């Protein structure tokens, strides 16, 4: 039997504790970062970083659930960031299998379904963080172009600190919410789930996309470090001139006092 699995980006973050108390569905797995439910033959997977994935549910059911989640979403911003794939649930002694356009799972293997929805959600999360990273790269490039053209930064102290803080927050979000290179705990003792885990990472191109985001982060941090050095040098030069002026004032004052006396 074929179903559609879909992941949606709904918010900047989701209150997992609040969802757990308010949603009355069969909870299959839950911790402080994620909740995995079964619902009328389908599945719902909620992640703290604002992504929710579904499988086996129609559009009306998905709309109802997202509406229920809205009060627990911070910075609600249901965007066009979605991804979907066909999932076939097969009966009998079937091993999980991944093809270019379909994932075949044993009908009774809940952990295989959970793993599939996890990586589908991670793919959407990568799209989201990639967009943020591209935006900051664009802003940083504007500052470096200004530096090249005019020989000085167009960022003051407070603006630069704000820009650095934004970059650090995004890098922290990426590190906290994306665990692309870590094997899920359910794969440690199950060869078939381990193979499924690796196949899903490959089909969604998770590792390469994650590396691209991290490399962009390193480039941005190097640029910001250079900006900070330039700002520190500018502040140091300003202080030096202030000291020189104060010394000159003292000398002039002393000279005038001697003339008067």
pLDDT in tens, 200-257: 989 999 889 988 888 888 888 888 888 777 776 666 667 777 777 777 777 777 777 7
Higher pLDDT residue, 238 or 112?
A: 112
96 in Cβ contact with 104 (< 8 Å): yes
Q: What is the pLDDT of residue 136?
A: 85
Residue 11: phi, psi to the nearest 5?
Answer: -160, 170
Task: Inform me whether the pLDDT recorded for 177 exceeds 90.
Answer: no
Split at pLDDT 50, 70, 90, the class of 115 is very high
pTM for this predicted structure:
0.80
pLDDT in tens, 9-63: 999 889 999 999 888 889 999 988 899 999 878 999 999 989 999 999 989 999 9
Split at pLDDT 50, 70, 90, the class of 179 is low
Which token pair is 99?
């093809």
Instruction: Write out the residue limits of the CATH 3.30.310 domain(s) in the chain.
Output: 2-107
**Topology (CATH) of 2-107:** TATA-Binding Protein (3.30.310)
E runs forming strands in the chain: 2-9, 11-14, 26-30, 34-39, 42-47, 51-55, 73-76, 82-90, 97-98, 102-106
């Amino acid at each position: 039997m074929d179903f559609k699995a879909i992941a949606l980006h709904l918010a900047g973050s989701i209150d997992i504790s609040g969802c757990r108390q308010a949603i009355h569905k069969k909870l299959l797995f839950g911790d402080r970062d994620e909740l995995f439910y079964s619902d009328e033959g389908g599945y719902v997977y909620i992640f703290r970083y604002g992504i929710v994935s579904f499988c086996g549910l129609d559009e009306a059911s998905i709309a109802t659930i997202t509406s229920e989640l809205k009060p627990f979403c911070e910075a609600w911003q249901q965007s066009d960031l979605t991804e979907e794939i066909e999932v076939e649930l097969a009966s009998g002694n079937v091993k999980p299998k991944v093809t270019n356009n379909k994932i075949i799972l044993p009908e009774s293997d809940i952990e295989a379904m959970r793993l599939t929805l996890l990586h589908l959600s991670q793919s959407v999360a990568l799209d989201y963080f990639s967009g943020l990273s591209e935006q900051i790269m664009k802003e940083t490039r504007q500052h470096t172009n200004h530096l090249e053209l005019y020989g000085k930064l167009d960022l003051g102290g407070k603006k630069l600190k704000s820009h650095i803080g934004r970059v650090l927050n995004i890098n922290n979000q990426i590190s906290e919410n994306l665990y692309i290179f870590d094997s899920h705990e359910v794969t440690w003792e199950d060869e078939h789930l381990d193979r499924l885990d690796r196949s899903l990472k490959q089909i969604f191109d998770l590792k390469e996309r994650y590396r691209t985001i991290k490399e962009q982060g390193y480039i941005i941090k190097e640029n910001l470090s250079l900006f900070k050095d330039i700002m520190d040098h500018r502040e140091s030069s300003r202080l030096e001139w202030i000291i020189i002026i104060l010394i000159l004032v003292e000398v002039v004052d002393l000279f005038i006092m001697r003339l008067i006396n």
